[in-house]
Amino acid sequence: MAVVFEPTKGLLDVPTHYCPGCTHGIIHRLVAESLEELGVIDKTIGVAPVGCSVLAYNYFACDMHEAAHGRAPAVATGIKRSLPDSVVFTYQGDGDLAAIGTAEIVHAAARGEKITTIFVNNCIYGMTGGQMAPTTLPGQVTETSPYGRDVKLQGHPIRVSEMLSTLDGAVYVERVSVDSVANVLKAKKAIKKAFELQIEGKGFTFVEVLSICPTNWGLSPRESIKWLQDNMIPYYPLGVKKDITQQEVK
């Protein structure tokens, strides 16, 4: 009998704590598969954030660090500079990366740290129970924007990928989504490419993944997927924001 699907060696065989329908699990799998296919699990060190994926260090099979809220890119910098032959990634939510950790991510990108950041954008603070994030959409209702995000009062969402793509140290920046099979496959390709470019020593690579939070959005998983497609993708357009390998070809 042909094996069509099996667990990836990049993840440990343990149950995760994610809510039913949450797409964090899919994104973990894509990262783990990429590391396995590239044959680098053995020399990879991951950095988990503070957020729903704080326990990612229990799931990934490689060595892991658990960072303080927002500091993962600085921690990853310390690791990569100490062990330059290793593969280093951070896995961060949008509160972690785009609010409290803005300085760390911008400067890691600007320095061209040879690390890969997986940025999980679900427009909300998941772990603390659904507060407004820097990525929360205009009008979106959250626990701390109960009347809907009013951009006059609470400012505008940050399009992190577009922002980071302006930095010379960032060599590859792409926004993907895990709302459909086709998009999951594209996301996998992007994540794998990001790691490949890191391994080639090109510079900082970044993949933003649009993700759902059914629990704090107050929607079923199926409704959440539709909400992502109807609201998030128009505001956060998918695609490659920067790819120096393409620029080189031109």
Partner 1 sequence: MAEKVLMKGNEAIGEAAIQAGCQCFFGYPITPQTEVAAYMSRRMPKIGRVFLQAESEVAAINMVYGAAGSGVRVMTSSSSPGVSLKQEGISYIAGAELPCVIINIVRGGPGLGGIQPAQSDYFQATKGGGHGDYRLVVYAPSSVQEMVDLIQDAFDVADIYRNPVMVMGDGMLGQMMEPVEFKEREAKQLPSKADWAATGLHGRKEHHVINSLFLQPEELEKHNEKLQKKYAEIEKNEVKYEMYNCDGDLDIVLVSYGTVSRICKNVIKMLAKEGLKVGLIRPITLWPFPKKAFEEVVDRTKYGFLSVELSCGQMVEDIELSVKGRKPVNFFGRSGGMVPSPTEIANKVKEIAGGAR
Ligand X SMILES: Cc1ncc(C[n+]2csc(CCOP(=O)(O)OP(=O)(O)O)c2C)c(N)n1
Contact 27, 118 (CB under 8 A): yes
Contacts of 109 (CB under 8 A, 6+ apart): 73, 164, 167, 169, 170, 204, 206
Residue 82 or 220: the one with the smaller Cβ distance to partner 1 is 82
**DSSP letter string over 101-166?**
THHHHHHHHHHT-S-EEEEEE-SSBTTTTSB--TTPPTT--BTTBTT---HHHH-PPP-HHHHHTT
Binding footprint of partner 1, residue count (CB under 8 A):
37
54 scored as a contact of partner 1 (CB under 8 A): yes
Output the CA torsion sign for 209, 47, 244, 201. negative
* Shortest Å distance, C-beta 53 to ligand SF4: 8
122 scored as a contact of ligand X (CB under 6 A): yes
66 scored as a contact of partner 1 (CB under 8 A): yes
Q: Which amino acid is at 155?
A: G
Binding footprint of ligand X, residue count (CB under 6 A):
17
* Shortest Å distance, C-beta 161 to ligand X: 16
With CB under 6 A as the contact rule, the residue among 126, 157, 203, 214 that binds ligand X is: 126
Site stretch for ligand X (CB under 6 A), options 88-96, 111-119, 158-166, 198-206: 88-96
CA distances from 196 to 8, 63, 84, 87 (A): 18, 19, 15, 10
Residue 24 or 28: the one with the smaller Cβ distance to ligand SF4 is 24
Q: ∠ CA 156-146-25 to the nearest 5 degrees?
A: 75
State the binding string over 75-104 for partner 1 (x if CB under 8 A, else -).
Answer: xxxxxxxxx--xx---------------xx
78 binds, among ligand SF4, partner 1, ligand X, none (CB under 5 to 8 A by kind): partner 1
Residue 45 or 127: the one with the smaller Cβ distance to ligand X is 127
* Shortest Å distance, C-beta 78 to partner 1: 3
Q: How far apart are CA 41 and CA 86, in angstroms?
A: 10
Q: How far apart are CA 213 and CA 230, in angstroms?
A: 15
Residue 211 or 243: the one with the smaller Cβ distance to ligand X is 211
Binding site residues, ligand SF4, CB under 6 A:
18-19, 22, 24, 52, 122, 126-127, 213-216
Q: How far apart are CA 215 and CA 224, in angstroms?
A: 9
Beta bridge partners of 175: 208, 239
Q: ∠ CA 171-108-53 to the nearest 5 degrees?
A: 100
Residue 71 or 193: the one with the smaller Cβ distance to partner 1 is 71
List interacting residues with partner 1 (CB under 8 A): 12, 41-45, 47, 54-55, 57-58, 60-68, 71, 74-83, 86-87, 103-104, 106-107
